Structure 1
């Protein structure tokens, strides 16, 4: 399958999900604002999300997909289906235990996650505990969703896992619009929306697994060779992913000692960052991991290096303009999406600060999602773990350095710069090992991108207008003007690249 077409398919499905994600967050901001209640929900939702990334999208996928790709390419359908069944059974049993323990330990988990609330905001802490008990089963559901997604991606059914998050966003939107008044407090409806979204996502993927003959059966075999290979790979991978998630958890702890609303401001800024990160970083990582794993299984080293080179060029070409646009259009974006109802002008400025800080690290955040699969495809998880540990220490040092004078924005800046350090070290070790050899033409490519970035940034800066004009405009005027600015940025940037001699068919040839 042509990788650029696969990327377009994943990107288009992810785009739908992210747009609905913005609708969801706009509704949450409008109905609930940024304060005690939303802080409680975002903390409660973050904890299962951390475990989801640990058990599912993180360590599990990194260990599971390369082994699954090897089985598919070398051992045939029956052995592959047997492996999926055994892994799904073991994962389900472990996560049922984790879910039960999490629900029982909700008070302790909530206190560890936001210790600053114990005395300053006990209402937020109590609400977080109640929400955690409703949300925790989501870990089991979404981990099985991620397992199904790994199987579907290995079989080049990329669009299905990419579309799956749409169901969670729809659950949020329906809950906020129609069911909030029936809950006390109303924001409790969002916790039940998470649970319902997990059920919808899993139910959506099962028919597609059945179609390719990979629907898991109940089979527990702790002595299976393939299962043990995955477990051995998961060991260091769990450690590495937990380091990254620990960094996010520490940020929440820091934010709990800051001004009320800090957790929410970071969340809303992060959601804007998640759009390009998901649209490009997650999409590329999703496609590259099985493709790189296949190259390693086939011992095609040149193909492996070429795939990585293609991914890196595409990342730089698309991530850099996204970072510039997020910084230049920070006020238009925040006001257009969130400045309604309970979301006040003060919330706009605070969210804007976090977004501008995050934008400095966007390239690093996306590059990590492209470079890390290069190690996982070779079943090398130790090197990313060592790099993640160093990044954690560096991030916390930057937190201590920045939080005193930049407050919540300092926490966002530390995360972004930490991601840049992570990406730089991953690239360094790939080059040192000789597994990645850059193809010719990088200097000319970077020069063209830099010139196009400057022209785009200037065009957006002059066209955006004053902050006051965005703060006081109505919804449709803001959305129309924002759409025009996005179109202008795309036209100036890609038009400049075309004038400078960069052609899209160059990427099609590399991706074929």
Structure 2
């Protein structure tokens, strides 16, 4: 969460210095590279592959040295080749990502700088997976804090001389810092490992193409939603890409917090499955899904209720004008309709890839959702512009979440979906009450800052009251946990 807060500070700095226009659009086209790299190499594919692999090795007796020797050198060679290819092909990459961009030269220069993240993010994601499997969460949690601090420091020092390219250089610096903050802990853990002892109940997880392909395809398809959005937004008036980006960055904070729950418990689920305890894994996944829904829907209610006030407080200064605030807030409200789907996809996909048995079902579900997004964007962009693109994103990811929830029992852990859906319905009702309460409060407050602060109290309080009234599951557990931590 500290990394996310500094991510907002980063976006505030970019908005202040470059506004929402041609310069920021050029940077955000190049920003597609670290966005895709982070999803594939840190958050999804690398974690979905390597956390279960490391967890399985530890379940066999604690040694991962053979796994490291067999995977890391090949990974680094592949990452280096991809980085070089991306730098050389930057003009073609920009043309494919944003074919309607008026002046692509700045985007090409920025893309060559951000291409470094393919190598650094890949190594950072590998180290992060190893540390999470060892229940070491602080160094992996620090990577986005280090990343964003590197970006902020670089463009703060260099923007007067290099313009928007200073922000792209900061991305390259931040990627290197991701590796630096994890390396000492990773070397300590790997240096103390024992030779593995094979356990009869823990089958080896072979990292071959059969396992790699469905994970990578799912991850790339999920991130391709951003590519589809920017493809349709590029011909719109200057600033449309920036409005979509700022709206997403703010609205995704509740989703990030909800998925943190599953990120921390993912190694526990993988270890339980490696040890043959499927019932323990099922209980953990069911609780994760319920808690993730509660957290993301509270955040969604807050975002929808006072979107203009949030954007004004965060971004309206310097080159970011009141018209940019109004456009971004409207887009953010539409985009927020898909936050529950985003959170559920992040939570549901982990059980699918926790076992050694590869499955194509998540990739197929994501492909269907991506198709829905593309079709909806194509139909809506001409009439509603950026708002239609945001609506297409929400529709596509919601379809994917529904498909993943529907197929979980047949393809992975036998989660009792019928037991989860009634609780989810009650949680949605509580979120609706909280949204109305927050909106009524925001419209009666005299200033943006006071409205954002007061709504930050009113929305959770209204949600809690409604949730108690309709008996939302897991709320007593969540409240007890918060109370216990507050006492500590």
TM-score, normalization: structure 1?
Answer: 0.86
SS of corresponding position for 2:190: coil
Deviation at 1:84, TM superposition (A): 2.1
Structure 2 match to 1:221: none
Contact 1:448 1:500 in 2 (8 A): yes
Alignment of 1:486-505 (within 5 A): 486-498=456-468, 504=475
Relative to structure 1, the CA distance from residue 489 to residue 126 in structure 2 (aligned partners, 3 Å threshold; closer, same or farther) is same
Q: CA deviation at 1:436?
A: 2.4
Structure-2 residue corresponding to 1:181? 160
The equivalent position to 1:145 in structure 2, one of 124, 133, 137, is 124
The alpha carbon displacement at 1:211 in A equals 2.6
Offset at 1:434? 7.8
Q: What stretches of structure 2 of length at least 5 have no aligned partner? A: 194-202, 482-488
Query: What displacement does 1:338 show?
Result: 0.8
| Contact residue 83 and residue 227 of structure 1 kept, 8 A | no
The verdict on how the C-alpha distance between 1:149 and 1:443 changes in structure 2, with shifts beyond 3 A counting, is closer
* Alignment check: 8 A CA contact 2:17 2:319 kept: yes
Alpha-carbon RMSD: 2.6
Deviations 1:95-115 (A, max 9, x none): 000001111111111111111
Specify the alignment match of 1:42 in structure 2: 28
Could you tell me whether the CA contact under 8 Å between 1:24 and 1:172 is conserved in 2? yes
1:275 and 2:253 matched: yes
Does 1:485 find its partner at 2:455? yes
In 1, Cα distance between equivalents of 2:370 and 2:425: 32
Question: What's the offset of the Cα at 1:446?
Answer: 4.5
Are 1:161 and 2:131 matched, yes or no? Answer: no
Q: Say whether 1:288 aligns with 2:272.
A: no
Please report how far the alpha carbon of residue 443 of structure 1 lies from its aligned counterpart in structure 2 after TM superposition.
Answer: 7.2
Distance in 2 between the 1:89 and 1:344 partners?
49
Considering Cα pairs closer than 8 Å and 6+ residues apart, tell me whether 1 or 2 has the greater RCO: 1
1:345-388 deviations in whole A, cap 9, x for unaligned? 22112211220111110000000010000100024331111112
Structure 1: unaligned runs, 5 residues or longer: 1-14, 217-224, 471-477
Classify the secondary structure of the residue corresponding to 1:360.
helix
Q: Distance in 1 between matches of 2:355 and 2:303?
A: 34
Residues 375 and 444 (structure 1), Cα distance of their counterparts in 2 relative to 1, 3 Å cut: closer
Q: CA deviation at 1:440?
A: 9.1
In structure 2, the residue matched to 1:309 is 286
1:506 pairs with 2:485:
no
2:36 pairs with 1:53: no
2:65 aligns with 81
Residue of structure 1 in register with 2:413 after alignment: 435
Aligned with residue 233 of structure 1, among 211, 218, 222: 211
Q: Render the CA deviation track for 1:19-51: whole Å, top value 9, x for unaligned.
A: 111111111111110000000001101124213
Alignment check: 8 A CA contact 1:306 1:439 kept = no
Task: State the SS of the aligned residue for 1:213.
Answer: helix
2:181 aligned residue = 204
CA distance, structure 2, for counterparts of residue 157 and residue 62 of structure 1: 17
Per the TM alignment, residue 490 of structure 1 is displaced from its structure 2 partner at its CA by 2.0
Counterpart-to-counterpart distance in 1, 2:134 and 2:323: 48
Q: Larger deviation: 490-499 or 162-171? A: 490-499
Map 1:335-414 to 2 at 5 A.
335-379=312-356, 380-414=358-392
> What SS does structure 2 have at the residue aligned with 1:355?
helix
From 66, 69, 76, give the equivalent of 1:92. 76
How far has the Cα of 1:159 moved from its partner?
2.6
Match for residue 462 of structure 1?
440
**Does residue 288 of structure 2 align to residue 299 of structure 1?**
no
- Structure 1 residues 177 and 227 mapped into 2: Cα distance closer, same or farther (>3 Å)? same
Number of corresponding residues: 470
Mark the CA change 1:508 to 1:341 in structure 2 (over 3 Å): closer, same or farther. Answer: closer
